[in-house]
Structure 1
Amino acid sequence: MRIQHNIMALNSQRQLGINNTNISKSLEKLSSGYRINRAGDDAAGLAISEKMRAQIKGLETATDNANDAISLIQTAEGGLQEVHSMLNRMTELATKSANGTYDDDVDRQAIQDEFDALNDEIDRIADSTNFNGIKLLDGTLNNASTATVTVGTGANTFRVSVGKDAAGKKITIGTDDSKAGNTINASVDSAGELKIVLGTKDNASTYSAKQIEDAVKNAVQKAVDDGTLTNKDLANSLLSFKAEGQTISYVADDTSQAGTAEPTSAALAGAAALKLQIGDTNDGYNQLNLTINDMKAASLGVRAISVDKLDDATGAMKTIKDAINTVSSQRGRLGALQNRLEHTINNLGVTTENITAAESRIRDVDMAKEMMTFTKNSVLQQSAQAMLAQANQQPQSVLQLLQ
């Protein structure tokens, strides 16, 4: 028998230490509710579950983003609903004024006054409707490429816009007294650069923004048909060309305007759409661009309408109905986008639930199973303590041999 080293006591002590460590881990798991509290518990499981946690946070935030987007859309749609109401009232006023029973100077002037007031209110709603300071209906979110172009003299300035894919393209416009007056020569090259030449030869010439707009669209369509312009997205953006501004007039033999004016160029600058983050990654399919057209009276075509004359009122009826259709189309697009976002939210909710369940299976502790482990380790701990006490008593038996 040896007394220098009590191997039985050392073994019991080692086992007691192991049991104490196991009980400590069980208590930690039971008190925290997690199976993995540190990388040492399950390194691979920790790495996977942390990625899942990040994904869950992203999905939850994307859900909040989509809900905010729906609130924004509802705000914009609320403003457009009132614009619709005013356009319907304009239709009523124009129809009244188109009736021959009204007097121009009194009755139709009163109708015109109300018509002008409605135009002002449409502009006020377009300028003031906002969500968290973001203007919604003033054209800020039209996602178009715009430029301001001067023709001849500084007074002849108008604004043009095209689709977003034409951003950075150049538009050049000028006059040429070698070309017949009241003629517009528009062309587009394979790169999408626009060139417009207004004829000013011999006679007085007047060009409206609408005439220039039609000429450009025809030129773009021709370039598409003959294969000059092959980029489909660029072509569609150019086909949405829109001109706004005053009528451009050139008087024959007026040297201040007639003659060949040096062409002026302007680069089309892209306006920003509202980018919505509706997913947990920066992939394109998790981002959505929200666009809302300019809903001001001028953009709707009703700002310049006159109803104080019978003939003007008759022509105004169609213009107002076109404006109603424009607003209806915009509201329809917003409604479709809102429905899409609602489906997005549902999908995000289901995905969040499933990823959370997967993360729970990896990270969370099974309380019943861990209680079984804790009970086992607790019994082993007590047994090890008892055996350590017994092992410590064993060397005392040597005293029997010394008597």
Structure 2
Amino acid sequence: MIINNNLSAMNAHRQLGVNQNNMQDSMEKLSSGEQINRAGDDAAGLAISEKMRAQIRGLDQASNNAQDGISLIQTAEGALDETHQILQRMRELATQSANDTNQDDVDRDAIQEEVDALATEIDRISGNTEFNSQSLLDGSFEGKFHIGANSGQNMDVSIDQMDATSLGVAGGGEFLTEGSADVEGLGEQTVLQDGDDNVVAVQADNENWYAVDDVELDNSDNVVPVEGATALEPTEVDQIDGEVVTSEQTDYEGVETTVYSNNAGDVVGVEATTGEDSGEIFAPDDVSVEDDEISGGGEQLTLEDGYSLGSNGDGIDVSTQSAADGAIDTINTAINYVSTQRSELGAVQNRLEHTIANLDNASENLQAAESRIRDTDLAQEMMEFTQSNILSQASQSMLAQANQLPQNVLQLLQ
């Protein structure tokens, strides 16, 4: 029997420490609900679960982003719905004015006034429709919806300009060409002329354009604006066969070339890429695609460069029978153009709704996987806590017993 080292007590004390540590770990997991409270609990599990958490939060925010995108689309589409209603009314008025039971100076004037007011409202809707202080229908909105948890997971969204001029239902907006002409009181000047060679604007200071009545000659015989005159803002435009077009370098039946489209989005001209006619423009029906090249046939189209001053604030002309008759087709084109834009917006909205469903499903599944790594199984952990608690109490009791063993040595010394 020895008294310097009580090995039984030392062993009981060590076991007591182990059991108390296990009990403290169990209490921490039970109180936090997580089985990983520090890196030492599970280093690999911590690293994996943190990546999962980042992905989960990214997916949840992407879902919110998609919801915001739907809200934006609905705002724009709702405004275009009203534009559609206005165009339908304008078509109804044009059809009414095309009937010669109306008098030009009475009935058609009244019809024209309503058409003018409707065109003004289309311009107002185009200019004032906003989402989060961003204009939607003035042609400036080109954005990205971030609909994924990681970088680069975007979708591009753009909305065309939807004012009366873009829809072709505004008054004025003639195609103007730049040239020289003799202007009364000003002499030979650089001007913008309409199709009838009428002078619409005069260039002053070799830079800005002004209405003819807003310019004069100074002492050096230079054209200058009169005091208080406002400069016009002509827009550079192209036209083919009297129709304003926009050009785009794009894929046409598998071949990269320049395509020309009207305001309704219809392709009216395609640039040939091979042969003698390479670079020339032809109607879509007059081109053929073979061996990744576009060849032209038939009559070549002429692209005219010019300017447009846009709307004069009035609506499309329905003041005569012939003008009203032509306006019906123009308004039909505008209705189809708005329908196309609304269809595109509707397709984006439907896509976003599916995107949200997929993001929410991915987030849910990933959350379940992360839970299996991080969350505490309370039933199992309570069982381990109970075991550690019992063992700790037993260790305390055995330590007390072990501390009494050296007392037995005193019996030998009596």
TM range (shorter): 0.5 to 0.7
Q: For residue 316 of structure 2, what is the aligned residue in structure 1? A: 305
Unaligned runs of 5+ in 2: 143-157, 162-175, 180-189, 191-202, 204-208, 210-232, 238-244, 281-288, 293-302
Question: 1:103-252 maps to which residues of 2 (within 5 A)?
Answer: 103-141=103-141, 153=190, 154=203, 155=209, 157-160=234-237, 218=269, 221-223=271-273, 245-246=307-308
Q: Tell me if the contact between 1:79 and 1:129 (Cα under 8 Å) persists in the aligned partners.
A: yes
Q: For residue 348 of structure 1, what is the aligned residue in structure 2? A: 359
State yes or no: 1:394 paired with 2:408.
no
Q: For residue 395 of structure 2, what is the aligned residue in structure 1? A: 384
Find the partner of 2:327 among 311, 316, 328: 316
CA distance 1:244–1:364, shift in 2 (3 Å): farther
SS of structure 1 residue aligned to 2:71: helix
Q: Tell me if the contact between 2:178 and 2:306 (Cα under 8 Å) persists in the aligned partners.
A: no
Indicate the structure with greater helix content: 1
Find the partner of 1:325 among 336, 346, 351: 336
Question: 1:258-273 maps to which residues of 2 (within 5 A)?
Answer: none
Q: Give % identity.
A: 54
CA distance 1:318–1:217, shift in 2 (3 Å): closer
CA displacement at 1:163 relative to structure 2: 7.1
Instruction: Report Cα offsets for 1:178-226 as digits up to 9, x if no partner.
Output: xxxxxxxxxxxx99899xxxxxxxxxxxxxx98xx99x974x5223786
Q: For residue 43 of structure 1, what is the aligned residue in structure 2? A: 43
CA distance 1:26–1:51, shift in 2 (3 Å): same
C-alpha separation between the residues in 1 aligned to 2:306 and 2:338?
18
Q: Tell me if the contact between 1:306 and 1:313 (Cα under 8 Å) persists in the aligned partners.
A: yes
Opposite residue 104 of structure 1, the aligned amino acid is D
C-alpha separation between the residues in 1 aligned to 2:248 and 2:65?
24
Instruction: Report Cα offsets for 1:1-21 as digits up to 9, x if no partner.
Output: 221111111111111011111
CA distance 1:162–1:367, shift in 2 (3 Å): farther
Q: For residue 164 of structure 2, what is the aligned residue in structure 1? A: none
C-alpha separation between the residues in 1 aligned to 2:408 and 2:304?
108
In the superposition, the TM-score normalised over structure 1's length comes to: 0.67
Opposite residue 106 of structure 2, the aligned amino acid is V
C-alpha separation between the residues in 2 aligned to 1:59 and 1:70?
17
In the superposition, the TM-score normalised over structure 2's length comes to: 0.65
C-alpha separation between the residues in 1 aligned to 2:131 and 2:306?
27
Q: For residue 237 of structure 1, what is the aligned residue in structure 2? A: none
Q: For residue 372 of structure 2, what is the aligned residue in structure 1? A: 361
Q: For residue 53 of structure 1, what is the aligned residue in structure 2? A: 53
SS of structure 1 residue aligned to 2:236: strand
RMSD: 3.7
State yes or no: 1:70 paired with 2:70.
yes
CA distance 1:242–1:83, shift in 2 (3 Å): farther
Q: Tell me if the contact between 2:139 and 2:160 (Cα under 8 Å) persists in the aligned partners.
A: no
SS of structure 2 residue aligned to 1:159: strand
Unaligned runs of 5+ in 1: 167-189, 195-208, 233-240, 248-296
Instruction: Report Cα offsets for 1:288-328 as digits up to 9, x if no partner.
Output: xxxxxxxxx96xxx966200011100000000000000001
Q: Tell me if the contact between 1:129 and 1:135 (Cα under 8 Å) persists in the aligned partners.
A: yes
CA displacement at 1:158 relative to structure 2: 2.4
SS of structure 2 residue aligned to 1:223: coil
C-alpha separation between the residues in 2 aligned to 1:39 and 1:163?
60
SS of structure 1 residue aligned to 2:271: helix
Q: For residue 175 of structure 1, what is the aligned residue in structure 2? A: none
Q: For residue 206 of structure 1, what is the aligned residue in structure 2? A: none
C-alpha separation between the residues in 1 aligned to 2:159 and 2:379?
62
Question: 1:74-85 maps to which residues of 2 (within 5 A)?
Answer: 74-85=74-85
Q: Tell me if the contact between 2:120 and 2:315 (Cα under 8 Å) persists in the aligned partners.
A: no
Indicate the structure with greater strand content: 2
CA distance 1:328–1:193, shift in 2 (3 Å): closer
SS of structure 2 residue aligned to 1:3: coil
C-alpha separation between the residues in 2 aligned to 1:92 and 1:165?
38
CA distance 1:243–1:62, shift in 2 (3 Å): farther
CA displacement at 1:364 relative to structure 2: 0.4
C-alpha separation between the residues in 2 aligned to 1:78 and 1:244?
34
